[in-house]
Chains A and B, each alone.
Chain A
Amino acid sequence: MRITCPHCGARDSREFSYLGDAKMAAGKGDFASVYLRDNPAGAHSELWQHVMGCRAWLEVERNTSTHEVLSIREAGK
Chain B
Amino acid sequence: MKYSVLEILRQGLTGNKGWQPLWRNPGPKPAYDVVIIGGGGHGLATAYYLAKTHGIHNIAVLEKGYIGGGNVGRNTTIVRADYGQKGNSAFYSHSLKLWQGLSAELNYNVMFSPRGLLELCHSDGQLEAYNRRANMIAAQGDQVEMLDRAGVRAYAPYLGFESARFPIRGGLLQRTAGTARHDAVAWGYARAADRLGVDILQKCEVTGIDIANGKLQGVQTSRGVIRAKKLAICVAGRSSQVAGMAGMRLPIESHVLQAFVTEGLKPFINTVINFGVGHFYISQSDKGGLVFGGDLDGYNSYAQRGSLSQVEHVAEAGMSMIPALGKARLLRSWGGIMDMSMDGAPIIDKTHIKGLYFNGGWCYGGFKAIPASGSAYARLIATGSLPDYAAAYRLSRFESGHLINEEGTGAQPGLH
Q: Are the C-beta atoms of B309 and A39 separated by less than 8 Å?
A: no
Chain A nearest CB: distance from B359 CB in Å?
A: 17
Q: Are the C-beta atoms of B249 and A18 separated by less than 8 Å?
A: no
Our pick among A35, A46, A67 for the contact of B342 (Cβ within 8 Å) is A35
Q: Are the C-beta atoms of A18 and B299 separated by less than 8 Å?
A: yes
Q: Are the C-beta atoms of A35 and B251 separated by less than 8 Å?
A: yes
Residue A1 CB within 8 A of the other chain: yes
Given contacts A18-B298, A64-B301, A64-B302, contact A37 B241 (CB under 8 A): no
Given contacts A13-B309, A18-B414, A20-B414, contact A37 B302 (CB under 8 A): no
Residue B192 CB within 8 A of the other chain: no
Q: How many A-B contacts at CB < 8 Å in the complex?
A: 62
Q: Are the C-beta atoms of A41 and B307 separated by less than 8 Å?
A: no
Cα A76 to Cα B235 in complex, Å, equals 35
Given contacts A37-B249, A46-B300, contact A12 B309 (CB under 8 A): yes
Instruction: Report chain A residues within 8 Å CB of B412.
Output: 20
- Chain A interface, number of residues (Cβ within 8 angstroms): 24
Instruction: Report chain A residues within 8 Å CB of B249.
Output: 32, 36-38
Given contacts A18-B299, A20-B414, contact A31 B399 (CB under 8 A): yes
Given contacts A37-B240, A37-B252, A39-B254, contact A20 B309 (CB under 8 A): no
List residues 2-21 of chain A with CB under 8 A from any CB of chain B.
Answer: 12-14, 18, 20-21
Q: Are the C-beta atoms of B253 and A20 separated by less than 8 Å?
A: yes
Q: Are the C-beta atoms of A64 and B300 separated by less than 8 Å?
A: yes
Cα A14 to Cα B307 in complex, Å, equals 9
Cα A62 to Cα B302 in complex, Å, equals 12
Cα A10 to Cα B301 in complex, Å, equals 21
Q: Are the C-beta atoms of A66 and B299 separated by less than 8 Å?
A: no
Q: Can you list 13 A-B contacts with CB-CB less than 8 angstroms, sorted by A residue number?
A: A13-B307, A20-B413, A34-B411, A37-B251, A37-B252, A37-B253, A38-B240, A38-B249, A39-B240, A39-B252, A39-B300, A64-B302, A66-B303
Chain B nearest CB: distance from A38 CB in Å?
A: 7
Residue A44 CB within 8 A of the other chain: yes
Residue B250 CB within 8 A of the other chain: yes
List residues 148-194 of chain B with CB under 8 A from any CB of chain A.
Answer: none
Cα A38 to Cα B49 in complex, Å, equals 32
Instruction: Report chain A residues within 8 Å CB of B253.
Output: 20-21, 37, 39
Chain A nearest CB: distance from B294 CB in Å?
A: 15
List residues 314-359 of chain B with CB under 8 A from any CB of chain A.
Answer: 342
List residues 256-301 of chain B with CB under 8 A from any CB of chain A.
Answer: 298-301
Residue B398 CB within 8 A of the other chain: yes
Instruction: Report chain A residues within 8 Å CB of B411.
Output: 34-35
Instruction: Report chain A residues within 8 Å CB of B300.
Output: 20-21, 39, 44, 46, 64
Task: Name the 3 nearest CB pairs between A and B, nearest first.
Answer: A39-B240, A41-B302, A36-B249
**B251: nearest chain-A partner, CB-CB:** A35
Chain A nearest CB: distance from B414 CB in Å?
A: 6
Cα A12 to Cα B241 in complex, Å, equals 30
Cα A46 to Cα B300 in complex, Å, equals 9
**B299: nearest chain-A partner, CB-CB:** A18
Interface centre among A18, A46, A65 (most CB of B within 10 A): A18
Q: Are the C-beta atoms of A1 and B398 separated by less than 8 Å?
A: no
Instruction: Report chain B residues within 8 Å CB of A35.
Output: 251, 342, 398-399, 411
Q: Are the C-beta atoms of A37 and B250 separated by less than 8 Å?
A: yes
Encoded as 1 (CB less than 8 Å from any B CB) or 0, chain A from 15 to 55 comes to 00010110000000001101111111100101000000000
